[in-house]
Structure 1
């Protein structure tokens, strides 16, 4: 599977400084590898809030949880290139 065949989702909430940091890393890696990504505000969904409130930011790759709290750029890149 080529990196561009994956999809990254960043789960976060407004005012989250760790989410801001995660967004920068994801945008950089996704841009370099041509991977589409989206951001989802957990406060807009009761289920997302219940599931992820204590872990944000959460990074999903193809809908599967990859990381939480901090995004490790090398780990993210390796997962997308594997």
Structure 2
């Protein structure tokens, strides 16, 4: 049975978010433990995402489902990705 690679989407504001930089580093650490694809979305490029998340970035979705915002809880994310 082939496994499906999970997609983790990081909603960020390019170049203007130190918490987003921390989130990227956290995602890299989690990627050393479990395989997933990272998709980065700059909320400034999409008015809908900006309206929704401008006060909450970084925001993490796993397979299009909101799972975390503000800070990445690495253990929680690992558990989500491995279940």
**TM-score normalised by the chain length of structure 2:** 0.89
Instruction: Find the counterpart in structure 1 of residue 65 from structure 2.
Output: 64
Cα RMSD, aligned residues only? 1.7
Instruction: Find the counterpart in structure 2 of residue 21 from structure 1.
Output: 22
User: What is the SS of the residue equivalent to 1:36?
Assistant: strand
Separation in structure 2 between the aligned mates of residue 3 and residue 71 of structure 1, nearest angstrom: 24
| Structure 2: runs of 5+ lacking an equivalent | none
Taking a change above 3 Å as real, the CA distance of residues 52 and 10 of structure 1, as seen in their structure-2 partners, is: same
| Structure 1: runs of 5+ lacking an equivalent | none
Q: Following TM superposition, by how much is the alpha carbon of 1:38 offset from its aligned partner in structure 2, in angstroms?
A: 1.3
Instruction: Choose between structure 1 and 2: higher strand proportion.
Output: 2
Instruction: Choose between structure 1 and 2: higher helix proportion.
Output: 1
Separation in structure 2 between the aligned mates of residue 44 and residue 7 of structure 1, nearest angstrom: 20
Matched-pair contact (CA < 8 Å) for 1:12–1:41: yes
Q: List 4+ stretches of structure 1 deviating above 3 A.
A: none
Equivalenced residues, count: 81
Greater mean alpha carbon deviation, residues 9-18 or residues 26-35: 26-35
Instruction: Find the counterpart in structure 2 of residue 33 from structure 1.
Output: 34
Q: Following TM superposition, by how much is the alpha carbon of 1:27 offset from its aligned partner in structure 2, in angstroms?
A: 1.8
